[in-house]
Amino acid sequence: MTAPDAAGLRRRTRDLLAAHPPATTDRTDFLRARFDAGLAWVHYPAGLGGLDAPRSLQTVVDAELAAAGAPDNDPRRIGIGLGMAAPTVLGFGTDEQKQRFLRPLWVGEEVWCQLFSEPGAGSDLAALGTRAVRDGEDWVVDGQKVWTSSAHVARWAILIARTDPDVPKHRGISYFICDMTDPGVEVRPLRQITGEAEFNEVFLTGVRIPDSRRLGPVGEGWKVAQTTLMNERVSIGGSRIPREGGMIGPVSRTWRERPGLRTHDLHQRLLTLWVEAEVARLAGERLRQQLVAGQPGPEGSGMKLAFARLNQEISGLEVELLGDEGLLYSDWTMRRPDLVDFTGRDAGYRYLRSKGNSIEGGTSEVLLNIVAERVLGLPAEPRNDKDVAWKDLSR
Amino acid sequence: MTAQPEASQAPDLLYSEAEEDLRAAVRSLLADRADAPAVIARTESDTPYDPQLWKALATDIGAAGLLVPEKLGGQGASHREAAVVIEELGRSVAAAPYLTSSVVATETLLALGAQDGPAAELLTELATGRRVAVLAVPFAAAPGSAAPGSVAAAEAAAVSGSLEGALGPIADAAAADVLLVPTADGLYAVAADAAGVTLEPLVALDLTRPLAAVTLAGATGTLLADAGTARAAVERGLLAGAGLLASEQLGLAEWCLTETVRHTRERHQFNRPIGSFQSLKHRMAQLWLEIVSARAAARNAADALATGSPDTPLAVAVAQAYCSKVAVHAAEECVQLHGGIGMTWEHPAHLYLKRAKADATAYGTAGRHRETVAALMELPAP
Ligand SMILES: Cc1cc2nc3c(=O)[nH]c(=O)nc-3n(C[C@H](O)[C@H](O)[C@H](O)COP(=O)(O)OP(=O)(O)OC[C@H]3O[C@@H](n4cnc5c(N)ncnc54)[C@H](O)[C@@H]3O)c2cc1C
């Protein structure tokens, strides 16, 4: 079969809509039918939710579906599955694994989380110490993961663990799919700066993972993880946002509606940030146009840096602008939300939560290293951990 | 779901293949004729402009007529193409009256809407590059500031066809054959060598864009348009100048980053390339991020001007409020990360710093453009 063009995709989308009218079809049924029609992610292979079509043509499908009021798969709620687990399963999974995992992942029936970070291994992720020891057809996993977003709602996890402590740290890691309902998996909420628990600690005690749920060869988990991490950083910037669509929106509205709050200092800062937010929006739009034109640039890694800083500065300004109100906070009750919702809460929440934007998914410092070395080609710092067995590293 | 702009309304922020071809031609010309030693030598000579470079750029490549319609002898291209030429000129900091003549003066004349007569004739000549014109408005004037009673309009008063006034500093006036002089009763074209016109070169901060003071003492000019038409046309010329200046700032900043990366990879101190020190890497990575953003802002302004988008005043103000800062930051980092070499006269870093700092005032400062953003977006001062 040759890959369909824009017209072909439009026709297939209309066929899907005709066979499963959104108004009368159950949401999950519609999403399953969309997956089976190859219109979930058109650049994926046929049979796995796609049609081997150019990635850029997804916009054609999305536009048709949006116009028809079709339900979407709530990408924000299943972000880790869509952005990280799926490309990794596609790239390294066996046929059985792809068949088993991709459809419920995309439809949103199964939520995924990412068991990567550990108390002793964050930026230096390859230093991780969670052990996986072979026992017949299974691996037995022991260790502790931390800051695991959505672990409390996840059915599956991507997991990296050490399978050989006697070789340098990057080489002794393997990559698994962990069933979060298995015995030995314990998820404890980890309350955070905002008062709620969006992430968790995860304790793994004698968890048995069948070898059939390993992704990629034994000892090559770091290479597999690179795919995951690269996708994590690129997944931002894909959608088009309107002017004032980000955090600058609420602040600008407050400025317009409440003249009594205005001061000259805040005005200067607001205008500077307004311009920067507009420019970041345009840079995101340019990145999107490059992707659509099939010329992806390295700009993706930059956008996360830009948005992290902007979110933090704008939300900081917003708290000050609100004066007396900025001294208040909506609610410190410990909750375990399904997803992070920046706009639904108040300025204080936005201020505090946005501090995570420069830490989660790779800190801004680490991203700046990546830009400097991979984009600008600057030399790496001298290293003293590359040729030392993991077990001999200082911790 | 939020309403999304129609695909057709979204600005095209990429470069077309034709634009990339044009870029390659301009870049190779500048590499041949305006490398750093040549630019430095030129700044110290009595002839700040290289006539052969101008001829090759304006006539052979046809860059001078990009904005002029074909029926007036131009290329019938747009601000998007002109922006690419300007990006390359920014990368080389060569002295060429491109932005001032081929963009600002040309755009001002185009905005008069004349199909024949003196304005159309002058446009035809500007399009070939055989003549150079500059708008006799101070280089620091922002769009929106050329209203009656301010700058040039009131100072050069027309007394029975004879112009009186002192104007300055005017960018590239030294290269100009024709001065476009806005006055209270209209826009005049005055030959630069006409009786009663004195051009006095000024010592400029930016060595690569000469400035001059212009004195008109009973000079006669040709009236091109009445006051109302002239005002709108000058405004349009300044808007195009400010919008495309962002592309110059982009090209300039890119050169600074590229050179700084190259230098810090090669220069060794403490037994390592200095570019392997994280404190330096992060500064360069930060610049890269600013330049990626500046490119989006500059392309957006060029595209808005090219398509006549109603968004143009905002796109231009945003680009100027952002790109000025990026160019100055890149040039300042370039000097600092080159160490002692960066402070020398032989190394071209200083040319870029001087150009960047002067550009930050040209066609309005960032703060001035932020005020425009405030007005357009209804974010008023207290
Ligand atoms: C809200 C949130 C959600 C998260 N969700 C998940 C998740 O779902 N799954 C998961 O696996 N992890 C998750 N994380 C963890 C996250 O990936 C790590 O916190 C992050 O990678 C940083 O590691 P660390 O916390 O150990 O900090 P460290 O690595 O100890 O860093 C501390 C400081 O040192 C700096 N630093 C470290 N190394 C360098 C270096 N080489 N050069 C310069 N500076 C350096 C860092 O930038 C930082 O400022 C989440 C984190 C947050 C905040």
- Give residue B6's pLDDT: 42
By C-alpha distance, the chain B residue nearest A282 is B296
How big, in percent rounded to 5, are the helix, strand and coil portions of chain A?
Answer: 45, 15, 40
Are residues A368 and B2, on separate chains, in Cβ contact within 8 Å?
no
| Residues A237, A239, A240, A243, CA torsion sign | negative
Confidence of residue A232 (pLDDT cuts 50, 70, 90): confident
B38 touches chain A (CB under 8 A): no
A372 pLDDT more than 50: yes
A331, two tokens: 């609610």
Nearest to B47, CA basis, from B90, B4, B95, B15: B95
Structure tokens at A323: 């004066």
Confidence bin at B160 (pLDDT 50/70/90): low
Say whether A181 sits in a helix, a strand or coil. coil
Tokens 């607001």, residue located? A270
Q: Taking residues B265-282, report their average pLDDT.
A: 97
Q: Which residues contact B228 (CB under 8 A, 6 or more apart)?
A: none
Per-residue CA distances from A357 to A235, A303, A309, A351, B9 (Å)? 14, 12, 8, 11, 31
Residue A140 exposure: Cα atoms within 13 Å on the Cβ side: 6
- Summarised one tens digit per residue, pLDDT across range B123-144 is 999 999 999 999 999 999 999 8
Chain B stretch 236-255, residues whose beta carbon is closer than 8 A to a beta carbon of chain A: none
Q: In angstroms, how far is CA B182 from the centroid of its own chain?
A: 19
The predicted pLDDT at position B162 comes to 86
Nearest to A282 by CA among A235, A246, A230: A246
Chain A residues near residue B378 by CB distance under 8 angstroms: 256
In angstroms, what is the span from residue A357 Cα to ligand 1's centroid? 10
Contact in structure between B337 and B320 (CB atoms under 8 Å): no
Which of helix, strand or coil describes residue B222? strand
Measured at the CA of B28, the angle between CA B93 and CA B288, to 5 degrees, comes to: 55
Query: Position of tokens 């700084």?
Result: B260
pLDDT in tens, B44-101: 998 999 999 999 999 999 999 999 999 999 999 999 999 999 999 999 999 999 999 9
* DSSP summary character for residue A379: P
Distance between CA atoms of A81 and A87, rounded to whole angstroms?
A: 9
Determine the pLDDT at residue A345.
83
Distance set, CA A270 to CA A246, A321, B321, B371, B379 (Å): 14, 10, 13, 11, 9
pLDDT at B342 over 50: yes
Q: Do B288 and A302 touch (CB under 8 A)?
A: yes
Banded pLDDT at A340 (limits 50, 70, 90) = confident
Nearest to A224 by CA among A161, A179, A298, A174: A174
Work out the average pLDDT over A241-253. Answer: 94
Which one of A124, A128, A147, A187 would you pick to mutate in the ligand 1 pocket, going by the greatest count of ligand atoms within 8 A of its CB? A147
Q: State chain B's mean pLDDT as an integer.
A: 93
Q: Whose CA is nearest to atom 52 of ligand 1?
A: A360
Please state the ipTM of this predicted complex. 0.92
- Mean pLDDT value of segment A1-30: 94
Query: A183 and A131 in contact (C-beta within 8 Å)?
Result: no
Residues of A in contact with B382 (CB under 8 A): 259, 262-264, 267
Which residues sit with their C-beta closer than 6 Å to ligand 1? A 113-114, 116-117, 122-123, 147-149, 199, 356, 359-360, 362-363, 365-366, 369; B 278
pLDDT level of residue B4 (50, 70, 90 thresholds): very low
The pLDDT value recorded for residue A1 is 59
Is the pLDDT confidence value at B376 over 50? yes
**What φ, ψ does residue A152 adopt, rounded to 5°?**
-75, -15
Average pLDDT (B300-323) is 98
From the list A196, A232, A299, A318, the catalytic residue is A232
DSSP B118-137: HHHHHHHHHHHTSS-EEE-S
Rounded to two decimals, the pTM is: 0.93
User: Where is B232: in which H helix or E strand?
Assistant: helix B227-266
Distance B308 CA to ligand 1 centre (A): 46
How far apart are the C-alpha atoms of A135 and B316, rounded to whole Å?
66
Question: B interface mutation test: which of A57, A248, A273, A282 has the most B CBs within 10 A?
Answer: A282
Nearest-by-CA chain B residue for A258: B382
Q: B284: alpha, beta or left, given left = phi > 0 and alpha = psi -120 to 50?
A: alpha
C-alpha A301/C-alpha A234 separation (Å) is: 6
Find the closest chain B residue to A370 by CA distance: B285
Cβ-defined contact of A282 to B13 (cutoff 8 Å): yes
Catalytic residue at A232?
yes
Mean pLDDT value of segment B357-371: 98
